[in-house]
Amino acid sequence: MAVSLDQIEGFLKEIGFKYTRVEENQVIIAGFSENETTAALFFRTIDSGDVLQIKMEPRDKNEMFDISSNHKYLNLILPQLLKENYDIKFGNWEYNPENGDLRFAVEIPFMDAVMTKNQFIRIMSVFSSALEAQERIMHIAKTGEVKEDETSKLMAEFAEFLKARQSKQDKEDEDGI
């Protein structure tokens, strides 16, 4: 009942992905891109096929995109990675400070189940979100700018509202009203 590379290959063909199967490494490699953001996907089965592992490695102009442990914006990148992990439904960003490797990984257990095409498509959809996150992370790494999202803006506005309210309350308390 385990998942196999043959099954993954079949699903990739059905949904129109271009890929390369590397038998000696027991891996399928596919490119993935949206707009100008690209990544490489590595499909493996582990634990005798009981687990499907997919790792996405960011690319920048077809070169690996790594972040050294002394990167000048690392203090901005790491919190962004945590936020991206919090926001995503499944899968997680991984960062290795020893060698600068950055990747997004998904591991799905299929011990007593057969993976369906619909499940595979759902799993693949998370990589669109990861690619969007990759774009935000790369922007920070290149510019040092953290783009505010709608939630951050609302939180900042709410904080200002609370601050103004507290200030008004303090003034009223001083006036004895």
pLDDT along the chain (177 residues), means of 10: 89 93 93 83 92 92 83 91 90 93 93 87 92 91 82 65 79 70
135 and 164 both lie in a single domain? no
104 and 170 both lie in a single domain? no
170 and 106 both lie in a single domain? no
Task: Tell me what pLDDT residue 41 has.
Answer: 95
Task: Tell me what pLDDT residue 176 has.
Answer: 65
49 and 88 both lie in a single domain? yes
Task: Tell me what pLDDT residue 140 has.
Answer: 92
Residue 91 is part of which domain span?
Answer: 5-146
Residue 30: phi and psi, rounded to 5, are -135, 150
> Tokens representing 52?
């499907």
- Work out how many domains the chain is built from and give that number: 2
101 and 161 both lie in a single domain? no
56 and 115 both lie in a single domain? yes
The pTM (predicted TM-score) of the whole model is 0.79
CA distance 81 to 87: 10
43 and 31 both lie in a single domain? yes
99 and 164 both lie in a single domain? no
Task: Tell me what pLDDT residue 169 has.
Answer: 77
177 and 125 both lie in a single domain? no
Q: What's the CATH code of the domain at 48?
A: 3.30.1460.10
152 and 95 both lie in a single domain? no
- The SS3 assignment for 24 reads helix
Task: Tell me what pLDDT residue 94 has.
Answer: 95
H-helix segments, 27-177: 74-87, 117-143, 150-175
Q: How far is CA 18 from CA 7, 13, 161, in A?
A: 15, 8, 51
95 and 160 both lie in a single domain? no
Task: Tell me what pLDDT residue 89 has.
Answer: 84
53 and 80 both lie in a single domain? yes
